[in-house]
Amino acid sequence: MIIAVDGPAAAGKGTLARRLAGTFGLPYLDTGLLYRAVGRRVLDAGADPRDVPAALAAARALQPADFTRADLRGPVADMAATAVAAIGDVRAELLEFQRRFGREHGAVLDGRDIGTVVFPTAEAKLFVTASAEERARRRHAELLARGITADYAQVLSEVRDRDAQDENRPVAPLRPAADAMLLDTTHLDADAAFTAAMALLAAKLSSHGA
Ligand code: C5P
């Protein structure tokens, strides 16, 4: 079984997807980490994350250790990930890894294009959103909790900028699949979002005969 969890930054996808994976006994893949790791490699090489050959070389060179780096989060890593993610050759390079991961034992995958591109035939697709202000509030609190000084207005502007880049890129833009179930978490905490997601999934999977 494949459960696709897509949506914009800081909508609560990761927390939800990890919890769903535990509940259904499925492996979990945070696909954003792949793009973050590529972005970091490009920065390490002293190149611009929008540079196609540099980003493609970084994607081809990925190693498991790249995913456990301590510097994959934060504004610089966010921007680099979003930039490399707009490059079609980079996405193509990462596609097979994601599909192989899901095919082995089934999986819950969170990202931007899981339901539209990576697993268009997933048994269940959730599109998790929240207002940009609420997502910025969460990201801001997360940064402060990690001891990173951040300005709310700046975080909000970065959230909006990443949304725009993810939604407007020509390849695999962020958008709900036609058969995705929408979950707006603006007024939901993590527990309430999980309960709402389980209700949506129960209805979907029972109609699937799962
Ligand atoms: O989900 P996360 O914020 O970690 O993703 C980082 C960036 O990677 C996103 O802004 C997006 O540009 C890109 N991404 C993507 N497709 C995915 C997952 C992430 O384009 N499936």
Q: What is the average pLDDT across 41-62?
A: 98
For 97-132, write each residue's pLDDT tens digit: 999 999 999 999 999 999 999 999 999 999 999 999
Strand, helix or coil at 7?
coil
The token duo for 42 is 């490009």
66 lines ligand 1 (CB under 6 A): no
The two beta strands, 124-129 and 2-6, are: parallel
Going from the Cα of 85 to the center of ligand 1, the distance in angstroms, rounded, reads 7
10 lines ligand 1 (CB under 6 A): no
Going from the Cα of 22 to the center of ligand 1, the distance in angstroms, rounded, reads 22
For 160-174, write each residue's pLDDT tens digit: 999 999 999 999 999
Domains of the chain by start residue, with CATH:
2-195 (3.40.50.300)
Instruction: Kindly tell me if the per-residue pLDDT of 146 is higher than 70.
Output: yes
What whole-number distance in Å separates Cα of residue 86 and Cα of residue 167?
A: 10
Q: What is the pLDDT of residue 31?
A: 98
